[in-house]
Chain A
Amino acid sequence: MSWIKPPAHQSRSQSPHRILHVDMNSYFATILQQENPSLRGKPIGVLKAAGRSCVIAASKEAKKLGVTTGCRVKEAKLLAPQIIFVPAAFDIYLSCTQKLKAVFHSVCPHVSIFSLDEAFLDITDDDLIYPDPVAFARLVQTRVKETLGEWVTCNVGISHNHLLAKLASEIAPKGTIFTITQENKDAILAQVPFQAVCGIGHRLEKKLHALGVVNPYAINFLDPQTLLAHFGPFWSTELTKIARGEETHFFSRTPKKDHMQSVGRTVTGYDLTTDPRSIEQTLRNLLEEATRKLREMDLAGSMIAVSLQGDTTYWSRYKRLSYYVRHSNEIFSLLKGELVTVMERPFPVIRFGVWIGNLKPVRDIPQNWLPEWEKNERLYQTIDAINHRFGLFALKPASLVGYKLIKPEVTGFLGDKRYYELE
């Protein structure tokens, strides 16, 4: 049997786009409640690890009591004295997102994983199979429950573009489906707060409020000159599109390259430290993880950066190289050179970061014939093979012996989704 389908360009020109945005409800907390029935129906605060002081996600029940992402543990206890704090399980979240991706692909060919708990499904060309987007959204919700469990729910927003589909799922009550059409879009844009619109951050919202603009639709009342004067050429155009409910640059852009542009890793420690050895070990640990990802994707970079953050001080350095690097010992010695300046006048550090950018596939860069580089390449190929076989950090630099290792973890916004093959 074969499906007869009109050519893509024909159907697209005849009917408006049909985009669905699937937003998992309180994902980090809900998955833990699904896993542990004794937590269901109770206010849960997810911490990055036991002993941390910041709530990175809250359950539906905790949100009702006023606990939000970013709340301090003390603050959350005041808002919800019965709150239970549980450590995040990043491996489980990643596995669940991979399962979700498989579910979405089983029902729709055009899937774009937007973050760990969000995805866009484009059914514009599937009108013969799915004539009713709401019925399709219900099917998606059912499949999500069947795959991840009965406690896991999601909102589905439907519209003719990504901006409005995401807005629809944002304002829909938990576990429901909401559609924004050409007819109701203006009324909705006139009611929603700026936080509900993807692309408008806190600073932009503040600037708009200062101009007397209190909702996205009201941007239409600002004349183009005022917009241009206050927001510049890029944001004035973007804000005009948002006010009209049109697709913004953020959603319409297409990835330029078929590989990741950069890899980085940051971590926030438990306590402030001025110990140079501890700072160096943490940075080395992060660098080992980042460079392993680089080599696994067969990439090399020519820009490197390091950052340290304390209570009030932020320090960072970046270095543009005239050659490409991918071995942690080489990058670390370069970064150490930069660190010398800060080590002369150390400040208490709690947040650490390393970054390698301007990445290129190794096949596209001039081959390095230096014996030292070749030796390093062979060494790291062996280390990677051993770590692949026996688990991560089975072989590690001597400087990390006796150090409590920081293991890789996936982030909510899924910056390295190409690495995790979620794109």
Chain B
Amino acid sequence: MFQTIGENIEVGGVYRHGHFVPKKFKWKQTVYPIEEITLIAEIRDGQIKKRQYSVLSHTTLYRLLFNRDTENWTLEEIFIE
């Protein structure tokens, strides 16, 4: 099941062919390397566009949300078996 977190995080990444590719994120003073991006979804909340990256770090799935309006990153959810 997904555990809701909703906390701000810092994300580092690279630009590849004009697209940002997240490579690691920092949550609660811990850096999590991103091993795989399994899905990217474009989400709208009113007129606010958000991009959700589902990423794997140490085989755990994290949903990272990028607010394209405020350019803020949040860790939305973690999948816990």
Q: Which residues of A contact B (CB under 8 A)?
A: 31, 34-38, 50, 86-87, 89, 91-92, 95-96, 98, 148-149, 387-392, 394
Having A86-B1, A394-B46, one finds 4 other A-B pairs with CB under 8 Å, namely A35-B54, A36-B38, A50-B1, A87-B2
**Contact status B46-A389, CB under 8 Å:** yes
**Consensus secondary structure, chain A interface:** helix
Q: Which residue in chain B gives the minimum CB-CB distance to A388?
A: B47
Q: Which has the most chain A C-beta neighbours within 10 Å: B39, B45, B59, B81?
A: B39
A87 to B48, CA, bound (A): 24
**Contact status A149-B42, CB under 8 Å:** no
The interface residues of chain B lying within 8 Å CB-to-CB of A87 are: 1-2
A391 to nearest B CB, angstroms? 4
**Contact status A92-B48, CB under 8 Å:** no
A34 to B37, CA, bound (A): 10
The interface residues of chain A lying within 8 Å CB-to-CB of B42 are: 95, 98
Within 8 A of A (CB), among B42-64: 42-43, 45-48, 52, 54, 56, 59, 61
**Contact status A92-B81, CB under 8 Å:** no
The interface residues of chain A lying within 8 Å CB-to-CB of B61 are: 35-38
B59 to nearest A CB, angstroms? 7
Within 8 A of A (CB), among B1-46: 1-2, 36, 38-39, 41-43, 45-46
A360 to nearest B CB, angstroms? 25
A387 to B46, CA, bound (A): 6
The interface residues of chain B lying within 8 Å CB-to-CB of A96 are: 39, 41
Selected contact of A36 from candidates B43, B46, B52, B54, CB within 8 Å: B54
Q: Which residue in chain B gives the minimum CB-CB distance to A31?
A: B39
A38 to B62, CA, bound (A): 12
A391 to B65, CA, bound (A): 15
A37 to B59, CA, bound (A): 9
A390 to B70, CA, bound (A): 11
Selected contact of A35 from candidates B38, B47, B59, CB within 8 Å: B38
The interface residues of chain A lying within 8 Å CB-to-CB of B2 are: 87
**Contact status B46-A392, CB under 8 Å:** yes
A50 to B41, CA, bound (A): 21
The interface residues of chain A lying within 8 Å CB-to-CB of B43 are: 91-92, 95
The interface residues of chain A lying within 8 Å CB-to-CB of B79 are: 36, 38
A342 to nearest B CB, angstroms? 33
The interface residues of chain A lying within 8 Å CB-to-CB of B41 are: 89, 91-92, 95-96
**Contact status A34-B39, CB under 8 Å:** yes
**Contact status B38-A34, CB under 8 Å:** yes
Q: Which residue in chain A gives the minimum CB-CB distance to B59?
A: A38
The interface residues of chain A lying within 8 Å CB-to-CB of B38 are: 34-37, 149
Q: Which has the most chain B C-beta neighbours within 10 Å: A89, A390, A392?
A: A89
Q: Which residue in chain B gives the minimum CB-CB distance to A148?
A: B39
The interface residues of chain A lying within 8 Å CB-to-CB of B81 are: 38
Q: A35-B61, A37-B56, A38-B61 given as contacts; is B39 within 8 A of A149 (CB)?
A: yes
A149 to nearest B CB, angstroms? 6
**Contact status B39-A391, CB under 8 Å:** no
Q: Which residue in chain A gives the minimum CB-CB distance to B79?
A: A36
9 interchain residue pairs of minimum CB distance? A95-B41, A388-B47, A35-B39, A391-B45, A92-B41, A35-B54, A388-B46, A91-B43, A95-B42
Interchain Cβ contacts under 8 Å between A and B, 11 examples: A35-B54, A36-B61, A38-B79, A50-B1, A87-B1, A149-B38, A149-B39, A388-B46, A389-B47, A390-B48, A391-B46
Q: Which has the most chain B C-beta neighbours within 10 Å: A35, A148, A387, A394?
A: A35
Selected contact of A390 from candidates B46, B52, B56, CB within 8 Å: B46
Q: Which residue in chain A gives the minimum CB-CB distance to B39?
A: A35
A27 to nearest B CB, angstroms? 13
A309 to B17, CA, bound (A): 52
The interface residues of chain B lying within 8 Å CB-to-CB of A91 are: 41, 43, 52
**Contact status A92-B39, CB under 8 Å:** yes
A119 to B37, CA, bound (A): 27
The interface residues of chain B lying within 8 Å CB-to-CB of A387 are: 46
